[in-house]
Structure 1
Amino acid sequence: MKTYNFILTGLGNIGRTFLEMLSTREQLLAERYNLALKAVGVADSSGAIYAPDGLDLAAVAAHKKARRGVVELAGPGQWRGDGLALVEQAEADFLLEATPTNLVDGQPGLDMVRIGLRRGMHAVLASKGPLVLAYQELAGLSDLTTKSAPALRFSGAVGGALPSINLGRRDLAGARIQRVEAVVNGTTQLILWLMSQGQSYEAALAEAQRLGIAEPDPSLDVEGWDAANKLVIIANAVLSLPTTLADLSVTGIGGVRPAELQAARAAGGRMSLLAVAEAQDGGYRLSVKPTALAADHPLAHLQADEMGIVYYSDICGRLAAAVREEGPGGSCAAMLRDIIEIVQ
């Protein structure tokens, strides 16, 4: 059995849940894939620890669930430092990057991924920031440009377990993609659904916050930028279109009127915040905006807790996928499938 060492940067909901999930998958990975994954380093906002002999996944996860800094777990003789130094010094096969998304400069995740790839580590990202701000650079350091380079994977950064990237890159290989439509923001999906039931925008937002789905500052979601970030990644990774946020037209859900929602529902469809890439003049027109979906649209019957994507192509026709998930488990599952893909 082959053992791969990894370091995990970021121990928030995604990082902690990933460790919990992995601690229950050891037998499955061994039996199905002849694979073992060993955590040799972890980092959070308190700092980082490095343990070449391995860390107890369940113990680290429980420590974080108790809202305690990971450096408190360092044993005698174990290295302590910060996250960047961990990536610079640790001997590991994989860097798993799950720090909070930073869309100003991508840090600290961006430098961590740069260093990890340059040191020969495969990089698996749940964080969107590095990809939105520096996709072309990171792709150039990875197997996405040079087959012999370390792998860069990030399927969990675009819709959790939804196979948004894999459908486009793998399953539509050889096809010309004519249009992509995606509902990939859970907060706006819930708010618009609640509004279609008669709630005001303010009440729907408050309910989403009470449920822990919307952030205390929901602007990234409700103004459309989270969906826009994911469309930037799709455009770069799937459509081979060098893209930044400046290339998108983005409209949030703040201006949606109850009458529009009710009309869409009465017609048998619904309104969603739709991210669209449409082939045009040798490139693609990219937009994010609230859109009324007709009753026969593949995404029209997504529930309040579902996300989905549709690809239209010349030889494969229409290809759609949807996912229903609670919490960060989908992103964690996507990170694990990326690791398995890399080592197979």
Structure 2
Amino acid sequence: MKVLLFGCGRVGRAFCELLGRKRDVVESASISLVGVATRSRGCVFNSHGIDVDRLLQWEALTGRIDALESEGTLVISDANEMLEDLDYDILVECTPSDFEIGEPARSIIKKAIKRGKHVVTANTGAMSLHFDELTRESLEIGVKLLYEATVLSGTPLFSLVRQGLPGCCIRRFEGILNGTCNFVLTVMGMGSTFDEALLEAQRRGLSEQNPWVDIDGLEAAAKTVIVARSLMSANVDLKQASIKGIRNITAQNIEEAKRRGGKLKLLSRIEANSNEIHISVSPEILSLNHPLAHLEGFSIGALLLTDVIGEICISGSGSGPKETSYSLLKDVLSLREG
């Protein structure tokens, strides 16, 4: 199966690195990266497959994707030409998330679906804003749209429910979905100021390009909407979510949580009451008995209440590009497996 990668920022580059590290797995599954498209660093295509190690080496030396020179590799001037005219089976979409209109990811995904291509995406913005539209069109065309990478980075959530919990209904969801906020609160708990903690998160390169998308709870809320739509069939959007971030959290708030025998966390909640769904994202003091209270640093996780087997807790120790790229690869491999 031929993969076209759209977007080669932190997540797209990590995906290429993972393809190189897992070359034996990728080759045994007959998967090859045939194209890489970027907005400002060029586009390349090779129907016989791109050597990702050489691609990354040339990109590191020149700052350009289209600096790669190898037999059969074409430099493409228009990314849309790759999307609409060239031969591939799976689009892996890694463009930056936009939380206002979901573009350009929405249009990119729609074009691939209309051509009968499977899509794997990490785009939280597009999926939170256009979930119904994109999933409906993929069903109508008869292709798969997979989005494991949009919520818990590399920790399986949607595939866990889809494959591991058939017949179960999710009644309640609680999650620590933003690693940056969890890191900031953890570091503040060790005595740092808010500004110091945020600066350290940025220095490590694991926050959004605009950190306030994280800090003000918008990114966590978008992920929560995707969970509500996907796992609870809820007709909700970001406008219906109650969102409060951690911008105004102080050392006093952290100490108050400790005095009350708990920890302060930015918690996403989905509550199903009768025929209503309530979504919220806000700082909460979690009792030390709560399974999510002990997630520290960039760790993220979720607690699901099911109607059949009660509570299930999942967590992952990282929420960066490396972990997100694994979910992309897992979704690609699942398409190969059928």
Give the direction of change, closer, same or farther, for the CA distance of 1:77–1:215 in structure 2 (3 Å limit).
Answer: closer
CA distance in 2, matches of 1:66, 1:276: 45
Partner of 1:127: 123
Give the direction of change, closer, same or farther, for the CA distance of 1:87–1:59 in structure 2 (3 Å limit).
Answer: same
CA distance in 2, matches of 1:287, 1:160: 20
| Matching residue's letter, 2:234 | L
Extract structure 1 runs of 4+ deviating beyond 4 A.
74-77
| Matching residue's letter, 1:22 | L
Contact 2:59–2:67 (CA under 8 A) maintained in structure 1: no
Secondary structure of residue in 2 paired with 1:287: strand
Secondary structure of residue in 2 paired with 1:73: coil
Contact 1:278–1:284 (CA under 8 A) maintained in structure 2: yes
CA distance in 1, matches of 2:189, 2:73: 58
1:281 aligns to 2:278 (yes or no): no
Partner of 2:228: 235
| Matching residue's letter, 1:40 | V
- TM-superposed CA distance for 1:163, in Å, is 1.5
CA distance in 2, matches of 1:274, 1:319: 16
CA distance in 1, matches of 2:73, 2:291: 56
Match of 2:68 among 45, 64, 73: 73
Gaps of 5+ in 1: none
- TM-superposed CA distance for 1:86, in Å, is 1.0
Partner of 2:30: 36
Alignment TM-score, normalising by the size of structure 1: 0.91
Please give the per-residue CA displacement for 1:107-155, whole angstroms capped at 9, x wherever unaligned: 222111101111111100012222122111110122xx45x71111010
CA distance in 2, matches of 1:272, 1:175: 28
Gaps of 5+ in 2: none
Partner of 1:171: 164
Q: Comparing 260-269 with 223-232, which one deviates more in the overlay?
A: 260-269
- TM-superposed CA distance for 1:266, in Å, is 4.2
| Matching residue's letter, 1:52 | S
CA distance in 2, matches of 1:343, 1:206: 41
CA distance in 1, matches of 2:101, 2:224: 18
CA distance in 2, matches of 1:102, 1:110: 10
CA distance in 2, matches of 1:213, 1:77: 32
Please give the per-residue CA displacement for 1:8-62, whole angstroms capped at 9, x wherever unaligned: 00111111111111122122345xxx41211111101233222212211111122
- Counting matched residue pairs gives 335
CA distance in 1, matches of 2:276, 2:161: 16
Percent identity among equivalent residues? 29
CA distance in 2, matches of 1:196, 1:160: 24
CA distance in 2, matches of 1:205, 1:20: 27
| Matching residue's letter, 1:88 | E
Contact 2:106–2:126 (CA under 8 A) maintained in structure 1: yes
Contact 1:98–1:126 (CA under 8 A) maintained in structure 2: yes
CA distance in 1, matches of 2:289, 2:327: 29
Partner of 2:258: 265
Give the direction of change, closer, same or farther, for the CA distance of 1:74–1:99 in structure 2 (3 Å limit).
Answer: farther
1:55 aligns to 2:50 (yes or no): yes
Contact 2:265–2:286 (CA under 8 A) maintained in structure 1: yes
Match of 2:17 among 9, 15, 20: 20
- TM-superposed CA distance for 1:216, in Å, is 6.0
Q: How does 1:318-333 map to 2 (within 5 A)?
A: 318-325=311-318, 327-333=320-326
Partner of 2:6: 9
| Matching residue's letter, 2:48 | D
- TM-superposed CA distance for 1:326, in Å, is 6.3
| Matching residue's letter, 2:170 | I
Partner of 1:249: 242
Contact 2:8–2:37 (CA under 8 A) maintained in structure 1: yes
| Matching residue's letter, 1:218 | P
Secondary structure of residue in 2 paired with 1:36: coil
CA distance in 2, matches of 1:326, 1:307: 7
CA distance in 1, matches of 2:208, 2:73: 39
| Matching residue's letter, 1:343 | R
Secondary structure of residue in 2 paired with 1:209: helix
CA distance in 1, matches of 2:100, 2:78: 21
RMSD of the TM alignment (CA)? 2.0
Contact 1:184–1:227 (CA under 8 A) maintained in structure 2: yes
| Matching residue's letter, 1:153 | L
Q: Comparing 156-165 with 265-274, which one deviates more in the overlay?
A: 265-274
